[in-house]
């Protein structure tokens, strides 16, 4: 920081201004003055060196008076000081040369110059000195010398420096505190985002757990009747085959019936009820019904799995690819008229999971992909891959796509855009629940009119 404001030195002072500058004329008071001061004559010889000046400079009057050593307390080699320059006429050029940017003309006292500088050579490790010098006149107004006044500014400067340092320290502190606050703010924002996402997950989990409860209730109610239907059906099958045996025996005995009328009636009855067809159809109906019952039992089991009431579910280390193949087999009927399936399988390590549930997720995704197809036959691409920590399965279709606003809702239970009877809107919310239970994630990327890709990412190992 400049010590004094830079000012152009106006050295073209009028003679009347010089005449007015009689401040320094009281030379007689110099000795007693508390202000450090000295005077020189036109030969640059020191004529006065007061006590205050001796104390400030550490140079007694006895060593200074009568010499031209006024530079000595301030500089390490001889040079003109401000008083010398004033005696020489106070010209702008020399003043600028010896005190570049450090001295200005006094506004209060024309002809007088004021400056401030640090003098490292001075006693006590150097001093900040404010100095001024002006001409001395005799009664006729002739310049007879110059007088210089000094003021020790060191204490004030040190105080200023301390203040400046204090301010800088404070600024630094403010910067540090602000940075700390901003860091905390970032942390808080992050924590808040995590909380919001956790809350969303909780809401999702809440929705799913109510579905789970419903499913558990339904599964429980259906489980018993389906149990006795299944066991009765077995018995019924047995009875029927025994009846068939009996019927065969009767049929064999039929020609032996002697009464023609009875024989004729039996024959007519056999034709009316199409006994041969009946005999052929009954086992088919039985088999199909059994399949139906088995499927219902499986659905009930799935419902129980979904609702997690069945604790017997075993986490297993499995290759996901066979599961995808068997799932494709199961849904083959749905897929084959609507789309071609392309498999792009990567090399997968075994994944710790509940395989039947992962299959169910894949099945939901494949069926959704099929249902997204329009009149034109489409393509479903199933890809797999892995990273060091995760394995992923992608089901991509070139179907109708999902709009951005609907994407936010597709995992909601009962959200469906399909006609009544086609979709319940549970497929994706169940899938979401299953994948969450596996500590994995399910992502969707979709463009309306282009297609949709679902990706399930699963950790290779479940956290302990
Ligand atoms: N591959 C896809 N392409 C286009 N839309 C999809 C796709 N997958 C899901 N959707 C949209 O998300 C909705 C919800 O899907 P979700 O599987 O949960 O229910 P759903 O298929 O309608 O019924 P459900 O699966 O219970 O039979 C669907 O109705 C559909 O609008
Ligand atoms: Mg679905």
Residues 357 and 444 in one domain: yes
Q: Does the beta carbon of 151 lie inside 6 Å of ligand 1? A: no
Q: Quick check: is 86 in a domain?
A: yes
352, 315 Cβ separation under 8 angstroms: yes
Residue 81 lies inside a defined structural domain of this protein: yes
Among 306, 327, 353, where does a domain finish? Answer: 306
> Ligand 1 mean position to 365 CA, how many Å?
8
Q: Are residues 140 and 177 in the same domain?
A: no
Assess if residue 8 is contained within a domain: no
Give the closest ligand to the alpha carbon of residue 430: 1
Biggest alpha carbon distance in the chain?
182
72 plus 163 within the same structural domain: no
Indicate the number of domains in the chain.
Answer: 3
Q: How far is the CA of 234 from the centre of ligand 2 (A)?
A: 34
Reference 208, options 431, 452, 458; nearest CA is 431
Asked whether 39 lines ligand 1 (CB < 6 A), one says no
Asked whether 381 lines ligand 1 (CB < 6 A), one says no
| CATH number of the domain to which 422 belongs | 3.30.565.10
Q: Are residues 35 and 97 in the same domain?
A: yes
Cβ of 410 closer than 6 Å to ligand 1, yes or no, is yes
- Note down the domain range covering 143: 15-152
Is residue 1 situated within a structural domain?
no
Q: Is 442 in the pocket of ligand 1 (CB under 6 A)?
A: no
Question: Quick one: 342 and 401 in the same domain?
Answer: yes
Q: Ligand 1, atom 12: nearest CA belongs to which residue?
A: 410
Please enumerate, as own/partner, the contacts of 216-220 that have beta carbons within 8 Å and a separation of 24 or more: 216/303, 216/304, 216/307, 216/309, 218/303, 219/300, 219/303, 219/304, 219/307, 219/309, 220/309
Residue 3 placed within a domain: no
**Are 203 and 233 within one domain?**
yes
Say if residue 192 is in the same domain as residue 296.
yes
Burial of 24 (0-12, 13-18, 19+ CB in 10 A): buried
pLDDT for 303: 60
Which residue's CA is the nearest one to ligand 1's atom 1?
A: 369
| DSSP symbols for 308-319 | T--TT---EEE-
Instruction: State the distance from the centre of ligand 2 to the C-alpha of 417, rounded, in angstroms.
Output: 10
State residue 55's pLDDT score.
Answer: 94
In a domain, 46, yes or no: yes
Distance 371 CA to ligand 2 centre (A): 8
Residue from 428, 444, 450, 454 to probe ligand 1 pocket by mutation (most atoms less than 8 Å from CB): 428
Last residue of a domain, one of 109, 132, 152: 152
What string of pLDDT tens digits covers the 464 residues of the chain? 333 333 333 333 333 333 333 444 444 567 778 899 999 999 999 999 999 999 999 999 999 999 999 999 999 999 999 999 999 988 888 999 999 999 998 888 878 999 999 999 998 889 999 999 999 999 998 999 999 999 999 999 999 989 999 999 999 999 999 999 999 999 999 888 878 777 776 676 566 556 656 766 777 788 888 889 999 999 999 999 999 999 999 989 988 888 999 999 999 999 999 999 999 999 999 999 998 898 788 777 666 654 544 443 678 898 999 888 878 877 877 899 999 999 999 999 999 998 878 888 998 999 999 999 999 999 999 999 999 999 999 999 999 999 999 999 999 877 889 887 677 788 898 899 889 989 999 999 999 999 999 999 999 999 98
In this structure, the residue with its CA closest to atom 17 of ligand 1 is: 427
Of the three residues 306, 331, 352, the one that is the final residue of a domain is 306
Q: Does the Cβ of 364 fall within 6 Å of ligand 1?
A: yes
Q: 369 and 250, same structural domain?
A: no
Does 23 sit in the ligand 1 pocket, CB within 6 Å? no
Do residues 287 and 369 share a domain? no
Collapse the DSSP code of 189 into the 3-class scheme (helix H, G, I; strand E, B; otherwise coil) and give the result.
helix
Claim to verify: residue 165 and residue 141 sit in the same structural domain: no
417 lines ligand 1 (CB under 6 A): yes
- Whether ligand 1 lies within 6 angstroms of the CB of 397 is answered as yes
- For residue 9, being part of any structural domain is answered with no
* CATH code of 67's domain: 3.30.450.20
What residues flank ion ligand 2 with Cβ within 5 A? 368, 427
- The answer as to whether 427 is a domain residue is yes
Q: Which residues contact 309 (CB under 8 A, 6 or more apart)?
A: 216, 219, 220
Whether residues 185 and 294 fall in one domain: yes
Strands 451-459 and 103-105 come out as: unpaired
Give the single-character DSSP code of 154: H
Whether 291 and 333 map to the same domain: the answer is: no
Tens-place pLDDT, residues 241-297: 999 999 999 989 988 888 999 999 999 999 999 999 999 999 999 999 998 898 788
Whether residue 452 has its Cβ less than 6 Å from ligand 1: yes
pTM: 0.43
What pLDDT, on the 0 to 100 scale, is given for residue 17?
33
């Amino acid at each position: 920081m400049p010590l004094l404001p830079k000012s152009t030195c106006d050295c073209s002072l009028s003679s009347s201004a010089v005449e007015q500058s009689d401040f320094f004329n009281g030379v007689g008071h110099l000795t007693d003055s508390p202000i450090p001061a000295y005077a020189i004559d036109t030969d640059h010889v020191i004529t006065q060196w007061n006590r205050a000046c001796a104390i400030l400079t550490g140079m007694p009057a006895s060593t200074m008076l009568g010499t031209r050593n006024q530079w000595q307390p301030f500089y390490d080699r001889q040079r003109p000081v401000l008083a010398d320059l004033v005696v020489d006429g106070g010209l702008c050029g020399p003043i600028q040369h010896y005190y570049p940017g450090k001295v200005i003309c006094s506004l209060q006292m024309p002809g007088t110059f004021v400056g401030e500088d640090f003098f490292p050579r001075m006693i006590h490790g150097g001093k900040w000195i404010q100095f001024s010098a002006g001409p001395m006149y005799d009664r006729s107004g002739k310049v007879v010398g110059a007088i210089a006044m000094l003021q020790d500014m060191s204490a004030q400067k040190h105080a200023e420096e301390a203040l400046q340092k204090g301010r800088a320290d404070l600024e630094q502190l403010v910067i540090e505190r602000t940075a700390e606050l901003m860091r905390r703010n970032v942390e808080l924002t992050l924590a808040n985002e995590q909380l919001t996402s956790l809350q969303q997950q909780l809401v999702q989990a809440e929705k799913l757990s109510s579905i789970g409860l419903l499913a558990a209730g339904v599964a429980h109610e259906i489980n018993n009747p389906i149990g006795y239907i299944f066991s009765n059906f077995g018995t019924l099958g047995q009875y029927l085959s025994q009846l068939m045996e009996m019927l065969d025996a009767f049929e064999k005995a039929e020609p032996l019936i002697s009464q023609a009328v009875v024989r004729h009636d039996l024959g007519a009855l056999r034709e009316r009820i199409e006994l041969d067809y009946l005999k052929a159809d009954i086992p088919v109906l039985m088999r199909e019904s059994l399949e139906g019952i088995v499927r219902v039992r499986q659905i009930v089991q799935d419902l129980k799995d979904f609702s997690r009431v069945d604790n017997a579910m075993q986490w297993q280390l499995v290759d996901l690819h066979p599961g995808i193949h068997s799932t494709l087999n199961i849904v083959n009927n749905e897929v084959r008229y609507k789309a071609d399936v392309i498999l792009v399988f990567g090399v997968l390590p075994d994944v710790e999971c509940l395989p039947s549930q992962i299959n169910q997720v894949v099945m939901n995704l494949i069926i959704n992909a099929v249902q997204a197809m329009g009149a034109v036959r489409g393509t479903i691409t199933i890809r797999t891959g892995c990273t060091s920590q995760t394995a992923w399965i992608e089901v991509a279709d070139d179907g109708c796509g999902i709009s951005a606003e609907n994407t936010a809702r597709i995992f909601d239970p009962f959200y469906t855009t399909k006609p009544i009877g086609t979709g319940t809107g549970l497929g994706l919310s169940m899938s979401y629940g299953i994948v969450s239970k596996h500590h994995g994630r399910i992502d969707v990327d979709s463009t309306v009119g282009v297609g949709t890709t679902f990706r399930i990412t699963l950790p290779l190992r479940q956290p302990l």
